[in-house]
Amino acid sequence: MRGPPTRRFAAGPKARRRFLFVRGVFPQTQKTGVPQVRRETEAVDILAELKKLRIVPVVKLDKAEHALPLATALKAGGLPCMEITFRTAAAPDAIRAAATVLDMVLGAGTVLTVDQAKKAEDCGARFIVSPGFSAKVVEHCLSRNLIVIPGVCTPTEVQMALEYGLKVLKFFPAENYGGIKTLKAIGAAYGEVKFVPTGGIELLNLVEYLKLPNVLACGGTWMVKPDLILAGNFAEITHLARQAVTLAATANAPAQPCPSQQ
């Protein structure tokens, strides 16, 4: 894996970011048509929304035509959020369709390359999620003031993310890497970091995860199972979403400020 530009920064992370700006890795201005301040504000708002919702449905769609009714069903269940993964060729068109739903907090998942990150943003994704840490993807997203939540499962990867100023990370695959016990241990060392554990999260352990003070939200697939989507059973998806939202509300994790991702 290619790491960040190698250089010692005695003055800390801020000095490092200034160096990267000078090198052009994180351009200070972008010809996006969107004011820089507005993009930065939106990024903070997205993290705040994820913290408020507490659950991120992680979706694999074989047909882009299912994206709109799925997004509508989740929103009807009180969960206007969805992470559409790049595990199928339908992802770009699915993101574009879901983006038409008002107030949908829409992300792209399983983003492995800069090209996928570009496609996701062009199609309307408001945040990017990766299963692992890719310096190239992270640098691209930061240059665009686009929220990026890379996957980590070890302290080394957490520190790599912190070098880029990232404080909200995906813990994946959660249950395979020790789940709650690991998050408690990591939390003791990295108190400023919040996690979105994904992988093995179900209704049975959802509340236990959400009660952890270093968990921002949980990613899950149980309310968006492929068989329900393929069968067009969106009413059941709405029911499962509402059930999950009701359960999450009982977690009552200690209220803490939502960290800035940059």
Count CB atoms within 10 A of the CB of residue 20: 19
Measured in Å, how far apart are the chain's first and last C-alpha atoms? 22
Could you tell me if residue 158 is left (phi over 0), alpha (psi between -120 and 50 degrees) or otherwise beta?
alpha
Is 83 labeled as catalytic in the residue annotation?
Answer: yes
Burial track 116-141 (b if 16+ CB lie within 10 A, e otherwise) = bbebbbebbbbbbbbbebbbebbbbb
CA distance 88 to 65: 13
CA distance 42 to 247: 28
Instruction: Please identify which of the residues 51, 60, 75, 83 carries the catalytic annotation.
Output: 83
Residue 161 has which token pair? Answer: 């993310």
For 37, residues 6+ apart whose C-beta sits below 8 A from its C-beta are none
Name the residue with tokens 């492929």.
226
**H-type helices in the chain, by residue range?**
13-23, 36-53, 67-76, 91-98, 114-123, 135-143, 155-163, 179-189, 203-210, 226-230, 234-248
CA distance 168 to 160: 13
Is 236 labeled as catalytic in the residue annotation?
Answer: no
Instruction: Please identify which of the residues 119, 167, 170, 194 carries the catalytic annotation.
Output: 170
Active site residues: 83, 170
